[in-house]
Structure 1
Amino acid sequence: MDMNPDQLGNYATTFINVLIDYSPKLISAFLILFIGLYAIRLINRIIRKIMVKRNLDPTLRNFLADILLWALRILLFVTFISKLGIETSSFVAILGAMGLAVGLSLQGSLSNFAGGMLIIVFKPFKVGDTIEAQGVVATVLEIQIFVTKMLTGNNQTVFVPNGALSNGTIINYSMQGERRADLTFSISYDSDIKKAKDILLEVLHKNPKVLENPAPEVFVKNLSASSVDFAVRPWAKNANYGAVFSETLENCKAALDEAGISVQPFTIQK
């Protein structure tokens, strides 16, 4: 269809008038966009510095900073298109539906993420601690967002989901710095109880790895059907616990044998 010069002039005039009327919105929208992007970078840097000063775990620090960054960017984008005059209600509804769908499909991962944050914030353990949880005794290597990476005594790497870890029982063997070994030695009823007790105490006091404070303990724990059971409880630094445990077993057995005291076969340790 051919257009005469008058029609072209009318279209051009209409376009210019619309552009002039719309230019304030356009200029203000782009001002908001550029200022918002600068403000978001500034806020992100400030938040990161605050988290560093609060000694938050680096993994959690980066993750939270990224979440904040994208949340602010989405908010800025919604504000930008709203300033342009575009209807945002349907757009927000679509975002909400997408968020709900993603949340439902990632329930397990979100549970692990929440568990990871709880672990990092409340610190039931930290990297380097030896813990017992979910049937695993191991040293914590890394607390990640979804799992905790640990190393067992036989050099196996174990990944435990943070959701199960944060909701279960955690025994932290490193938190107090000292640990007590609970052992039970059983002797026959024919043996001298006082002599056996003195021998066991002497063995504990001779071991330099056994702490004097708290003092080691030896006492009659139980009179069973076939034996007299002694509780033997030496204290040790966490680094020496394994050595104290094994040396106490070996040295107490050797000392009792040397004294002619019969050790019953059902010796209990834990």
Structure 2
Amino acid sequence: MELQEWIDKAFELLIDFGPKVIGAIAIWIIGSWVIKAVLKSLRKVLNKKDYDPSLQKFLLNLLSWTLKIVLIVVVLGTVGVETTSFAAILAAAGLAVGMALQGSLGNFAGGVLLMIFKPIKVGDLIEAQGELGVVKEIEIFTTKLTGLSNREIIIPNGALSNGNIINYTTEGTRRVDLTFGVGYDSDIKQTKDVLMKVLTSNPKVLQDPAPTVNVSELADSSINFAVRPWCNAEDYWDVYFGTTEAVKEALDAAGIEIPYPHQVEIQKKEA
């Protein structure tokens, strides 16, 4: 009888839970197939949109784990396990983790925005958060720049995405802003001709837009000229330093004085 009772109970459990178990297995198989199909479709969309590989990997992993957790909760609920408390525990844990990682989540959100909207890309010369450098790498939480003195600069993506970004590379060309002063005895037209010749003789200075030379200020001891050549973004520093050196040599050759500060010492003779 004892064996018969166990057999009867087994049949009762099979009748009660058999359909639920079969249903749970079916839901798991179908759900797993659906998750793979969704991830495959999302991967195609991300590849077509040319999103950053690191962002693609992160989003796919995040969606995969989220869908798997949802599937597990559904399967447990199908079997008859109470999932309300389980969901509450997950929600509470998620809230606690979110509060603990508030700063990191802000940087993560900033990284996602940078990778989706692409205001900057690797190789761009940018100025942001008081730093100037070439974008070396855009990661999920931080962006790395290479400074002009070959320093590695790491900027949190939260601050980067919420602050002002000056991208010197986007337009392809840059204007070099230079100012040179000459003495008041100098002829303005001659000086402009000399400065313009320096610009037009430099092969890295673009002719469209055309360079300009104009009187910008009548200063205390000099007539200041605003010299504005245009160049390709990658030639900026070559044009900047090359023009500065060439202007000094050209003004000296033309006999045009470049004023410099003079100090006059007055001595009072005692009676």
The normalised TM-score by structure 1 is: 0.93
Q: How does 1:85-234 map to 2 (within 5 A)?
A: 85-234=80-229
Counterpart of 2:268?
none
Paired letter, 1:183: L
Tell me which of 55, 58, 63 is aligned to 1:63. 58
Three-state SS of the structure 1 residue aligned to 2:179 is strand
Per-residue deviation at 1:238? Answer: 1.2
Structure 2 equivalent of residue 3 of structure 1: none
Point out the more displaced range, 70-79 or 185-194.
185-194
Q: In the aligned structure 2, how far is the partner of 1:237 from the partner of 1:264? A: 32
Q: List structure 1 runs of 4+ shifted beyond 4 angstroms.
A: none
Cα shift readout 1:219-242 (whole Å, capped 9, x = no counterpart):
000111221110000001112111
Question: Which digits, 9 at most, give the CA deviation of each residue in 1:18-72, with x for residues without a partner?
Answer: 2222101110011111221122122212211110011111111111111110110
Unaligned runs of 5+ in 1: 1-5
Which of residues 245, 257, 260 in structure 1 aligns to 2:252? 257
Q: Quick one: which of 70, 73, 96 aligns to 1:78?
A: 73
TM normalised by structure 2 equals: 0.93
SS state of the match for residue 211, structure 1? coil
Aligned-partner Cα distance in 1 for 2:178–2:29: 70
- The residue type paired with residue 132 of structure 2 is V
Give the letter aligned to residue 76 of structure 1. Answer: L
Please list every run of 5 or more consecutive structure 2 residues that lacks an aligned counterpart in the other structure.
Answer: 262-271
C-alpha separation between the residues in 1 aligned to 2:13 and 2:249?
A: 101
Number of residues of Structure 1 aligned to a counterpart in Structure 2: 261
Following the alignment from structure 2 to structure 1, what is the Cα–Cα distance between the partners of residues 155 and 135? 10
Separation in structure 2 between the aligned mates of residue 189 and residue 176 of structure 1, nearest angstrom: 38
Structure 1 range deviating more: 127-136 or 172-181:
127-136
Paired AA for residue 169 in structure 2:
S
Between 1:9-18 and 1:75-84, the stretch displaced more is 9-18
Aligned partners of 1:103 and 1:264: how far apart in 2?
Answer: 62
SS in 1 for 2:154: strand
CA RMSD of aligned residues (A): 1.2
Distance 1:66 1:265 in 2: 64
